[in-house]
Each structure stands twice: as C-alpha cells, then as structure tokens.
Amino acid sequence: MNCEEDSCRVSPVTFSSFSYLELFPTKLRIRDETQGIRHKSQLRQRKSVPKPLNDGIDNLARGAFFFHYVTDVSKAFDALDTLYTHQSSQTPLQASVDAASLAFFSFQHNSIKARHLARKQYLLALPQVNAALQSAADVSSDSTLLAVLLLDLFEKFLGESPSTTASMSHVHGALALVKLRGRSQLLNYIGLRLSARLSMNLLISCVAASTPVPTALLDLRSDLEDFLDEHDPKWQLTGLIIKYASHDTGIRRGCHWKPDTINSMLALDEEFRKLADNMPTSWFFKTVFLDEPSGRALELHFHVYRDHIITQTWNVLRIMRMLLNDAMRKYRSESLDDENNSSDSEQPPAAVETINLLAREICASVYQFTQLRDESCRLQYSALERARCFTLIFPLYVAAIYASVSTGIRPWVVRQLCFLSETVGIRQARAVVEVLGKGEDRDPWSIYTMLGSYAFAA
C-alpha cells in the first residue's frame, strides 16, 4: 500500500506475492501448501472445479458448521450470520464456507466422502480468493478476510499442510490483509471480531510452532486494546501467553539459559497465578462435594463453571502454567546435572507440586460435562454436549503426561478418554488413548494439532 498525505493507493494483495514484504521476508504461496491436496484430487478427477454437490451432505455439513461456529457452541465466526446472507453462490466466501464446512464434517464423522468434497471445494475457493485479492474493490472487504480465515480453518480440520510454514500461511496472509485494512476496520463489529479472532489464532500458531510472535501481531494487539475490554480475562490471558511465547522460543533456541532464567520464569508464573486469583466473580468455579466416589470424578469433588467457554479459558491458563513449570523443573534438573551434583538432582518440589495441583484442577473440570445423566440412561449426547466434551481432551492429555505417577491421574485420564470415545461418541479421544497407551508422551502441541488446533478454541 503506497500512502501519501492526501491519498492512498492500494496495491493488490495475493497469496502468491504479498505486497507486505517488510512483514514477511519470504513470499507466501497457496500453491506450496496445497500441492498435496491438488494431487490427491487430480488422481480422482482431472478437473479441479467440482460438480455441484448433491445428496444433502453439503447441507448437513453447513448446518453442523453454522451450529458450532455461528449460532451456538463457540460463535467464533458469528460474522457469517451477517455476511453469508448477503452472498451469491459464486463468491469466495461461499466457496470457503463449503470447504470449511465439509472439512469440519469429515473431522467430526471421519467421512471419506466429506473429506474428498472438502478438498474439491478448497480447490474451487483458492482461485476465487486470489481473484478477490487482486481486486481493489474486494481486497479490503470483510468477506475476503473471512474467506481467508475459513481456508485456514480447513487446513486445521484436515491437517493437509506438510510443514509449519505452510500451515501458517493463511493466517499470515490474513495478517497482511488486516494491516492493509487499517484501524478503521475496528470501528465496526465484524471487522473487530475478525481481527480479534485472527490475533488469537496467530498467537496460538506461534506458541504451538515455537516461533517468534511477529511484530505485526503485536501491532494489531496494540490497536485492539483501544476497542476491547482490557480487563477481560481472555484478553489478559493472551497477553501473558505472548510473554510465554517469547520465553519458550528463546529457551528452545538456547538463548535464555542464563542464571536469571528461573527468576524470569517464576515471575511470569506469578503473573498467571495472579490472573487466576483476580478473575471476575462470575468466572470463578464452585466446588461441589460428592457423597461417594464416581468414575467420572478423580476425587470426591468437582468444579462447576458458568459455561464451557469459561471452563476452556481456565484450562488454557492451567496448561500454560504447567508448561512453564515443566520447563522450570527441567532447567533446574539440567543445571544440577551440569554441576555433577547428582545427590541433589531430584526435581524441584515447588514446580512438581504446582503441576500436580493444576492437573487435579483440570480433572475436576470434567465431571460437569460428562456426568450429564444417569449411567443407565440410553439417550445419546447431543451435538452441543459432545462439542463441550471435546474441549476437555487436550487439557486431559496435558494433565496425564505432566502429573506425577503418584497422583494416579494418568490412568484416570485414560478412562475418561475411553468414556468420551465410547459413550459420548468423540472418535478423536480414542486416538489420544492410543498415544498414552504406547507411553510416547508426545509433545502436547502435536496432539493439539491432531485435535484440530485452534479450530475448537472458544
């Protein structure tokens, strides 16, 4: 974008060649990240443009997608409620909605047909989105930005990207669009919602990939501060996660292994703890005590939250503290090993106790969503109930791999995941059981990716 004092000329943006080279040192190419998809589709059909969808699977997929993301479960893309109704059937947004919807349906039901149709719709959406990015009239529209975010969602559902760089290309592209659109986009509800969603998605991507948070994202958060409630717990939490990302990236690259490393980690953990202690009254959970043991409760009590979104936020906070404390105990152990002080090489008790406490709190958040009815009841869990239960899988995995053996948390988590798979009907829970059963203790973020990444973040 070339700006002068009295005028502003917008240069077209495309995923094949971004105008914001100062933000992205390498060009982002949709073609690079979709070669695998394109190849698989061409094996079945030479034409990349799909035939009209039939037999109702597209309507089922779209209905499930809107229920989850627009009207009921998370409302993360509630902007669609306005934008989608004003679209014709041949727009980039329409094609992106169909691709994301079918990918979501495939993820939920392991539908090969839906996956195949999703790939075809994705290939249909790509040239339409690129055409919009070349259009001065469309490049800065809400619909184009939303279409790009939905293409990113498709990637998260199907996990088609062969590398971290490719998997983040859509969010980086969306970030370029947001910069192009300027601060004025934050003056309306849709622009504000889409920008805030992008901010969170890109931050999670950076943490999961252990890559530095780009300056452009920090600039976007600075702009958002003037329009969002700075006291909102989710906003405050993401601010602390940015600090964690800086720590984590530096540590993994060996940059922060200094004498003051533990002190800086302790200070950050204290900030997380203070956020938990100062949550709004409506965000605090209530502790309910049981008269007798239950298979759905780790101990003789459980926690009740106002809703699943607040529960998810609390568990994200706990996960970040567990990762931070795990890094501290590993660093301390390695420091002791370096000093050949094997007699004092036990793990630091403070970090271990904190991890075990947080793991227990995660386990206590489960009962509210799994013990919905009597064990003998044959009624199936509803789509909304399953969606709420789905958000428990990743926190349970983190609790299982980091909690001490003496807590008994790992076998209990395995039983809960089996319940989520067999009774609630969440097939992804079985995949996590298999990982735990092999004793692999894979990196949490690889499991997070397997579970759809931030596609299910509230």
pLDDT top residue among 55 and 158: 158
Average pLDDT over residues 344-356: 75
DSSP letter for each residue of 114-144: HHHHHHHHHHHHHHHHHHHHH-TTTTTSHHH
Residue 143 has pLDDT above 90, yes or no: yes
- What are 106's two structure tokens? 């495939």
Residue 329: its pLDDT value, please? 85
Q: What is the pLDDT of residue 257?
A: 55
Report how far apart, in Å, the C-alpha atoms of 172 and of each of 117, 137, 362, 429 are: 26, 21, 32, 30
Assigned token pair, 323: 């990762």
- Cα–Cα distance list, 246 to 192, 203, 212, 253, 270 (Å): 26, 11, 7, 11, 16
For residues 131-164, b (16+ Cβ closer than 10 Å) or e, as one string?
Answer: ebbeeeebbbbbbbbbbbbbbbbbbbbbebbeee
285 falls in which pLDDT band (50, 70, 90)?
very high
Category of 191 on φ-ψ map: left (φ > 0), alpha (ψ -120 to 50) or beta: alpha
What's the average model confidence in pLDDT over 326-332?
Answer: 83
Q: Which two tokens stand for residue 7?
A: 């005028």
Residue 458 has pLDDT above 50, yes or no: yes
The pLDDT of 352-373, averaged and rounded, is: 93
This prediction has a pTM of 0.84
Is residue 347 very low, low, confident or very high in pLDDT (cuts 50, 70, 90)? low
Mean pLDDT of the chain: 83
What percentage of the chain carries pLDDT values higher than 70?
A: 78
Give residue-wise pLDDT tens across range 394-422: 999 999 999 999 999 999 999 999 999 99
Q: Residue 18: pLDDT above 50?
A: no
